[in-house]
Amino acid sequence: MTNNTTINYFKSFGQRILSHDFIDFEEFALEIFRFQALNNFVYRKYLDARKIQISDVRQLDHIPFLPISFFKNHNVISSGIQDFKGFYSSSGTTGNTTSKHYFWDEAFYLKHAQQLFEMEYGPVENFHILALLPSYLERPGSSLVRMTDHLIQQSNSPHSGYYLYNHKELIQKLEELKNDPKKVLLLGVTFALLDLAESGLKIPLNKNFFLMETGGMKGRRRELIREELHDILKEAFHVKEVHSEYGMTELMSQAYSKGNGKYNLPSTMRVLLRDINDPFSLTFRSQGGINIIDLANFHSCAFLETQDLGKITPDGSIEVLGRFDNSEIRGCNLMVN
């Protein structure tokens, strides 16, 4: 396809997602698969290496999933590089190669991220958003920071904003807002929330307060199982549940948990579990490796084999149980159970 043609496809796919103009997830996913199998050089080579014929892929569980590690060393894009405005990069750890996820239109990502947040929590203007994301703010290219920037702006609150290590100032702001009729959301990377919880500062009780962790010890603290972590945070912040955001650099969609580590998948995401001993085989067991379909990745690759372990609960939500032993620690919600 010509570059103009692929950009028109991007615009069409993006509009359909933002307007929810699709009824059948499988049909849309197969349409994107055929598009990417033809236009994504890296994905096409991967399919060729596995001797996959495009015409043989006729249902959802036949679609091959690209290992997420390809984002570290390749431009995983479904058009020419000149058609992309920039990229998001992962945090990585010292000495590790970071992933790059190119975007064709950042406005699409931000609108989509806001829609997904509001589908779970209602209008963002009903919130004061306080962000405790020191490690992300200290490096460029974070998709989480861009999403948070956007939500802060859209909240239209003079109280919304970022905090690095200024815990006293954050506590003062929580005290100031404890009787405010609007909801207060504290969004934080896990190690920073633990640092605040264990700082000795008295955290005020606020009936309209929500605590959301994005995961990640970033090598700063020992990993904790989710129950232990959430018990510490619930006691310190006076909340009944700890909310969580599940996302990663390589995805354009996010899933949210309102407690117990169970994530509700948005309409643009689907998880299929794979056999832990055979990455090419799906499993119908309750646990396995997490393969994600993200329709919002129409410009890159929508079918990703992650290094997360998980299970699908009877109500259709997802639990992230940890990571494969040989995978590096990621920055987004990867506590081991």
Q: List pLDDT tens digits, range 231-267.
A: 999 999 999 999 999 999 999 999 999 998 899 999 9
Kindly state the helix (H) or strand (E) to which residue 171 belongs, with its residue range: helix 167-176
For residue 42, CA distances in Å to 48, 53, 75, 271, 296 come to 10, 15, 8, 22, 18
Number of helices (H) and strands (E) in the chain: give both, helices first.
10, 15
Number of Cβ within 10 Å of residue 238's Cβ equals: 13
Q: What is the pLDDT of residue 143?
A: 95
Question: pTM value?
Answer: 0.92
Q: Is 106 helix (H, G, I), strand (E, B) or coil?
A: helix
Record the tokens describing residue 29, joined without a space.
């996913």
Q: Which domains does the chain have, with CATH numbers?
A: 108-263 (3.40.50.980)
Q: What is the pLDDT of residue 332?
A: 42
Q: What is the pLDDT of residue 221?
A: 54
pLDDT < 70 regions, the chain: 1-2, 92-96, 216-223, 325-337
Please, which residues bridge with residue 269 across strands? 294
Residue 87's contacts (CB-CB under 8 Å, 6 or more residues apart) are 100, 101, 102, 103, 141
Which region, left, alpha or beta, applies to residue 238 given φ > 0 means left and ψ of -120 to 50 means alpha? left
Bridge-based pairing of strands 100-103 and 269-275 is: unpaired
Q: Is 168 helix (H, G, I), strand (E, B) or coil?
A: helix
Please, which residues bridge with residue 274 across strands? 282, 289
- DSSP-assigned letter for residue 29: H
Cβ atoms of residues 320 and 262 within 8 Å? no
Q: Is 95 helix (H, G, I), strand (E, B) or coil?
A: coil
Cβ atoms of residues 141 and 168 within 8 Å? no
Record the tokens describing residue 304, joined without a space.
């990703």
Rounded to 5°, the CA angle 322-324-330 comes to 65
Q: What is the pLDDT of residue 78?
A: 97
As a whole number of angstroms, the longest Cα–Cα distance in the chain is 62
- How many whole angstroms separate alpha carbon 114 and alpha carbon 101? 19
Q: What is the pLDDT of residue 21?
A: 86
Cβ atoms of residues 125 and 154 within 8 Å? yes
